[in-house]
Amino acid sequence: MIENIYEKYQKKIVILVDEYDKPILDNIEDLERANQIRETLKSLYTVIKDMDQYIHFAFFTGVTKFVKAGIFIGLNMLYDITLDENYGNICGYIQKDVEGLLLEYNANVDLAEVKEWYNGYYWLKERVYNPFDILNFVAKGFKFKNYWFLSGTPTFLIKLLGGNNFFLPRLSNIQIKDDLLDSYNIENLDLIVLLFQAGYLTIKEEKITNLGISYKLCFPNKEVRSSFNIFILDELKKDKEATANSERLSEAIESGNLEAIRDAFIAIFSSIPYNNYVNNKIYEYEGYYSTVIYLYLQAMGYEIIGEDVTNLGRIDLTFFHKNAIYLFEFKVEKGKDALEQLKAKNYHEKYMNDERPIYLVGINFDKEVKNISGFQYERVNK
């Protein structure tokens, strides 16, 4: 085909391949099948290797990087632009693009809210908007919805998250070396890398030290943060009362009533179906309970840090509200006092310069009833 097109038009051709990795991702749970597809794709793309005299330009896009997995073996002329700041804006709209578009359509919208919903992607140049979201936002009459996320549910990620018992609160506080973001191996998937490459995480901050370059990752915006956690909650927990529980928890948080927050948490764990626990013992581990709480808070758009590092240890969950800061400690073991550990470690000292009230919240769980058995709290600043 390449030769025939060249001979017909007497011009070098351009090759554009979108989602080159989709056949593999569609079979990611079946390693044997995925590897067979990889070999087929490798044979296909290797044809390009000896076609320089016919090719002017080739451009490949996809979710994952398979360079090290062998798909593009021999194609050493390919240049990866994912984290090249010269191309940092190639996949999104910058601020003036969006402002100009909304002005052209006389949109009476809050620009700050548009930014909160759809901006935030960062590949080392400017923070950019998701074009799919912005175009749909305009086309649908300037209604805020999860356009991009709902356009394709990440089922392969859900399956991998569930199969690996991934500790989801880690997603709120990730730091990763730059070389890890370049890696992809079908046989040994790194979920953080996959989430970054699929667009569910983006770069929050770049750090350059004597040890090299590292990146702090985060959810890019409200759409992804909220949608991702709601979807995970629905798929992994099968909580049919998730919407009602979210509304109840939100009201309790906004009122600052810790007793109401406790009652909302109890209702959340009470509504998780019994068959979620059949053939597994996830309820015996603190990570399970903190993950459920994390999912609800993230889905409502609150700022959270999971495994928040201090000089004396890690806070299980730090939750920032405009009116207060809450430090959570979770315990499943009997005889362990969650609140006392928070107090003994002086975790709150990390945030003492903040003017908001700081509450230590110790929550004990009973693995027999799979719910809260103790809920204590204390304000540590005046």
What burial class does residue 76 get, using C-beta atoms within 10 Å of its C-beta: 0-12 exposed, 13-18 middle, 19+ buried? exposed
Q: What's the pLDDT score for residue 6?
A: 96
Question: Which candidate, 42, 43, 23, places its Cα nearest to that of 33?
Answer: 23
Task: Report how far residue 374's alpha carbon sits from residue 291's, in angstroms, rounded to the nearest whole number.
Answer: 18
Q: Looking at the structure, tell me whether residues 243 and 369 fall in a common domain.
A: yes
The pLDDT score that the predictor gives to residue 277 is: 40
Q: SS3 for 368?
A: coil
- Choose the final residue of a domain: 115, 150, 185: 150
Domain check: are 29 and 106 in the same one? no
Residue with tokens 């044997």: 32
Asked if 358 and 261 sit in the same domain, the reply is: yes
Tens-level pLDDT at each residue, the chain (382 residues)? 999 999 999 999 999 999 888 888 788 778 889 889 888 888 888 888 788 899 999 998 887 765 555 677 666 677 888 889 999 999 999 999 999 999 999 999 999 999 999 999 999 999 999 999 999 999 999 999 999 988 876 666 666 665 555 666 677 778 888 777 766 666 666 778 878 888 889 999 998 888 788 898 988 999 998 888 777 766 655 556 667 888 889 999 999 999 999 999 998 888 876 444 434 444 445 667 788 888 888 878 788 888 888 888 888 889 999 999 999 999 887 777 889 989 998 999 999 999 999 999 999 998 888 889 999 999 998 6
Q: Does any domain span residue 144? A: yes
Q: In the chain, how many domains are there?
A: 3
Domain annotation covers residue 200: no
Q: Pairing between strand 121-122 and 212-218? A: unpaired
Tell me which residue range forms the domain holding 10. 2-79
**207 found inside a domain:** no
8 Å CB contact between 88 and 169: no
**Residue after which a domain boundary falls, among 55, 79, 103:** 79
Instruction: Give a yes or no: residue 160 inside a domain.
Output: no
In a domain, 162, yes or no: no
What per-residue confidence (pLDDT) applies to 59? 92
Residue 42 tokens read as 């490798």
Pick the closest to residue 11 from 54, 52, 65, 50 (CA basis). Answer: 54
Q: Does one domain contain both 246 and 359?
A: yes
278 lies in the same domain as 362? yes
CATH number of domain containing 281 = 3.40.1350
Q: Are residues 37 and 115 in the same domain?
A: no
Count of CB atoms situated within 10 Å of the CB of 214: 17
* 30 within some domain: yes
> What integer pLDDT is reported at residue 286 of this predicted model?
60
Maximum Cα–Cα distance across the chain: 81
Which DSSP state fits 219?
-
* Residue 363 domain-assigned (yes or no): yes
